Amino acid sequence: MPRESSTILAFLCAFLNSIHVYVFTFVSGYLYFVLLTEHNRYGNQRQAILGRAKRLLVPYALMLLVTMPLVFALERQSLTMLLQKYILGIAPSQLWFLLMLFLVQTAFLLLGKRVYENVKFVLFLVLGVYCIGLLGEKITYDYFQIWTACRFALYFYLGGLFRVWQRATCARVPAVPAVLAEAALFGLYWLSKQQPGRLFTGIAEGLLFLCTLSGIAMALALTEAFAGTACYRRLTQKSIYRFFCKYSFPMFLLHEQLIYLSNFALNPILATAVLALVNFVWAITASGFLSWLLGRGETTRRLFGISNQSVCATQTP
């Protein structure tokens, strides 16, 4: 933890947390529907689920071998705490996303063609599961990220439905209204969160849900607007773009553990804002280098999900 608090950084962190993981899940659902409905993938459920386990659970298990000794050495957490957080999946650092996504994708694989043949049924199903996830988080631990998966299944399905709707209408999300909506909703959420009482807590939770949806819309709008520019076309020709396309997944696996190291070394001597900047540069640089090293070997490429190609492929994480 930083040695001093920063209101500005807390605000920025809360803002990003209301957007990025929801966008990632939405995009995963979008790509899942592309592969399911346009490329006829996932016909063999058993093979598809095993493929998801290889893609998501194998890297999770490998990163536990790194993360648990690291956290024990740096934070001196008890073995019981480490067992609960990482083996039982209650709070396994950034790796929670892998457990959640595996559960969500497995559920949709088991639903099969119903996800696009019976949209109303599946939509009501994921809405009900979302409510179960909210309730479950309040009454018991989030073992193996089950309750989180219940909540994020909604965003995954919305990503798939957006793909179907986009193909049918060729519609684009308007950028300016999306940005204004996200700014207004998050501002109201932040103000409500600061107020005492259960009423404002409930209002804040409702506004946060709306923020996640408007944040997805904003991300889509800005991405679509940027994708049509000459700057984007030039960027796609750059080697740095191809590098991130190839190594983004192992960089995700490694970045937070690298930040643990820099926090341990620099937290006592750097101000919070400076530490945040140093962590960002260090995590990007070091995780990129380590990912490149992992990509040099055939076995490590397979284990950490690194493609042999240097281009961005249409695939779910």
- Specify whether the CB–CB gap between 25 and 155 falls below 8 A: yes
Q: Which band of pLDDT confidence, cut at 50, 70 and 90, is reported for residue 314?
A: very low
Q: What is residue 100's predicted lDDT score, i.e. its pLDDT?
A: 97
Instruction: Report, as an integer, the average pLDDT of 275-290.
Output: 95
Count of C-beta atoms within a 10 Å radius of residue 315? 15
Could you tell me the sign of the dihedral formed by the alpha carbons of 236, 242, 247, 249, in that order?
A: positive
Q: Sorting pLDDT into bands at 50, 70 and 90, what band is 316? A: very low
pTM: 0.90
Q: Tokens 């219940």, residue?
A: 150
With b for 16 or more beta-carbon neighbours within 10 A and e for fewer, the 236-271 pattern comes to eeeeebebebbbbbbbbbbbbbbbbebbeeeeeebe
Rounded CA separation 85/96 (Å): 10
Residue 129 has pLDDT above 80, yes or no: yes
Residue 234 and residue 11: Cα distance in Å, rounded? 33
Tokens of 197: 């009482």
In percent, the amount of the chain with pLDDT more than 90 equals 62
Which residue from 110, 108, 102 is spatially nearest to 61, judged by alpha carbons? 102
Token pair in block for residue 304: 């950490």
pLDDT band at 189 (very low <50, low <70, confident <90, very high): very high
Question: Has residue 312 got a pLDDT over 80?
Answer: no
The 10s digit of each residue's pLDDT in 192-247 is 998 888 898 899 999 999 999 999 999 988 988 888 888 988 988 898 999 998 99
Contacts of 127 (CB under 8 A, 6+ apart): 154
Task: Please give the pLDDT value at position 310.
Answer: 53
Average pLDDT over residues 68-93: 91
Q: Where do the domains of the chain lie? A: 7-171
Quick: pLDDT tens for 37-74.
888 888 888 999 999 999 999 999 999 999 999 999 98
pLDDT cut 70: percent of the chain above it: 94
Q: Which two tokens stand for residue 298?
A: 């055939």
Checking if the pLDDT of 5 tops 90, the result is no
Mean pLDDT for 250-263 is 94
